Amino acid sequence: MHMPMFIRDYTDFYAGRDHAFRVGTMYRGPQNALQPNYYHIPVGYHGRASSVVVSGVDIKRYVVRAMKLT
């Protein structure tokens, strides 16, 4: 199988509050994890085009260690 098109870039959106909270915690800490606009407008982020593959293709997921920010 092959990809029917070349995907250069895309934007993804935080659909779930928990997902947005966890990501926001990494950048801003738990007190400010969700920005005030989260409940009023869609929050998007830049997606990785390299993660778009044909259905059924095995994906190697790397184990990443996260440093705790102090």
Catalytic positions, written as ranges: 19
Burial class (CB in 10 A: 0-12, 13-18, 19+), 43: middle
Amino acid at 54: V
For the chain, what is the total number of helices (H) and then of strands (E)? Answer: 1, 2
